[in-house]
Amino acid sequence: MTAPKDTTMEPLVRLDHIHVRHKARSGGLLRRDAVHALTDASLEVRRGEILGLVGESGCGKSTLARVVTGLQRPTEGEVYFKGQDLWRMPAAERRTRFGASVGVIFQDPSTALNPRLSVSRILRDPLDVHGRGTQAERARRVEELLDLVGLPGHTMGALPGQLSGGQRQRVAIARALALEPELIVADEPTSALDVSVRAQILNLLVDLRSRLGLAMVFISHDVQTVRYLADRIAVLYLGRVVEEGRAAQVSGASRHPYTEALLSATPSLLERPERIVLHGPVPSATNPPSGCPFRTRCWKADDACATVFPAVSDGGDGHRWHCVHPQPAADTAAAV
Ligand SMILES: Nc1ncnc2c1ncn2[C@@H]1O[C@H](COP(=O)(O)OP(=O)(O)O)[C@@H](O)[C@H]1O
Ligand SMILES: [Mg+2]
């Protein structure tokens, strides 16, 4: 018997120098510019950890989610799942083995769930598609899933439209868990929800992670939410990973000015010396600035920032950033 190659030391997912270029939605028929949704992004998702992914709208978070879940094939670069190159696997293996190992939760549960199917049908569907268990076992699994996400049994017969937003997102979470994945990718899972139920859904995700030993990629434009949940944080700016590290490092001792600006923009318990206000929107991903993409909004930028994307600096213990003029190490370290 040949067991699938699985080096347990390998991270669950490893992205190696990923580029994703889309054809621009606008532009003429003949001249369609490229949208640089991701540029040279390398990241690891380790077993059992929550990796938080943060950045403003348009920075490439959803594209990265699609790459991690195998929904988007990168233009360049490799995606490894437990050491195996995802896009060199036979398509059938990619669907069955990898597809069952990764669950996805999208932002808006009202569009992610088929409005014509009952909750039990929605939860059964992945079990049917992957031929998991007998009819009776599938029925039992549906009950178990409802229980897992804290939905009462009577919701089984309901249509998504008969549920509240929070309940619908619980259904979406249950569906993502149906095949017992090792990884959940949650792309802004609370952004479309009422403020009053957001904390419940976040707590459910944290609770599920510890009960099921899942790894999770948690995506949000809100750095405060990410720092509350994540073990490690990666900060994306205009398709680039500009800083990454343990959550305490990135949120308490950030070195990249963009991270600092994100932290400063949202209220937190931390006292920050001055509030940094970012002016204007994220520049176009069709024509990203040369050198450091953040330089057009950065208060520290000078000519040195315009030439090449800054090389990686390593603060040890997995803390890395790309900046010519990083925040000083000393004046933020006390906050951890
Ligand atoms: N299918 C697509 N076609 C063209 N451009 C796209 C497509 N998907 C995303 N983009 C562009 O890629 C960039 C990154 O988008 P996205 O990954 O959705 O960012 P985020 O989730 O951080 O808001 C944006 O400029 C967006 O407009
Ligand atoms: Mg998005």
* Ligand nearest, relative to CA of residue 63: 1
What tokens does 147 get?
A: 């229980």
Q: Residue 111: phi, psi to the nearest 5? A: -100, -20
> Alpha carbon 43 to chain centroid distance?
11
pLDDT at residue number 275: 77
State what percent of residues in the chain have pLDDT above 90. 83
The atom of ligand 1 lying closest to the CA of 239 is 14
pLDDT at residue number 109: 84
pLDDT of 115-161, one tens digit each?
999 999 999 999 999 999 999 999 999 999 999 999 999 999 999 99
Specify the pTM. Answer: 0.92
Flag whether pLDDT at 334 surpasses 80.
no
The atom of ligand 1 lying closest to the CA of 64 is 17
pLDDT at residue number 70: 95
Beta pairing, strands 102-105 & 13-23: unpaired
Ligand 2 center to residue 187 CA distance, Å?
7
Query: Cβ(202) to ligand 1 under 6 A?
Result: no
Q: Residue 232: phi, psi to the nearest 5? A: -130, 155
Q: List, edge to edge, every strand of the sheet that includes 76-81.
A: 34-45, 13-23, 76-81, 84-85
pLDDT at residue number 279: 82
Nearest to 336 by CA among 319, 322, 314: 319
pLDDT at residue number 28: 62
Flag whether pLDDT at 43 surpasses 50.
yes
Look over the chain and give the mean of its residue pLDDT values, rounded to a whole number: 91
Mean pLDDT on 224-238: 96
Least confident of 20-29, 51-60, 268-277: 268-277
Flag whether pLDDT at 189 surpasses 70.
yes
pLDDT at residue number 267: 64
Query: Cβ(35) to ligand 1 under 6 A?
Result: yes
The atom of ligand 1 lying closest to the CA of 66 is 17
pLDDT at residue number 314: 96
Residues 68 and 92: their CA atoms lie apart, in Å, by 18
Query: Cβ(19) to ligand 1 under 6 A?
Result: no
pLDDT at residue number 77: 98
Ligand 2 center to residue 250 CA distance, Å?
21
Residues 156 and 161: their CA atoms lie apart, in Å, by 13
State what percent of residues in the chain have pLDDT above 70. 91
Better pLDDT: 77 or 4: 77
End-to-end CA distance of the chain: 50
* Ligand nearest, relative to CA of residue 60: 1
pLDDT at residue number 151: 97
pLDDT at residue number 335: 46
pLDDT band at 25 (very low <50, low <70, confident <90, very high): confident
pLDDT at residue number 6: 53
Domain ranges for the chain? 248-336
Flag whether pLDDT at 1 surpasses 50.
no
Flag whether pLDDT at 2 surpasses 50.
no
Better pLDDT: 230 or 273: 230
pLDDT at residue number 278: 86
pLDDT of 257-310, one tens digit each?
999 999 988 766 555 566 788 888 899 999 999 999 999 999 999 999 999 999
Mean pLDDT on 74-80: 98
**Residue of minimum CA distance from atom 3 in ligand 1:** 22
Mean pLDDT on 189-215: 95
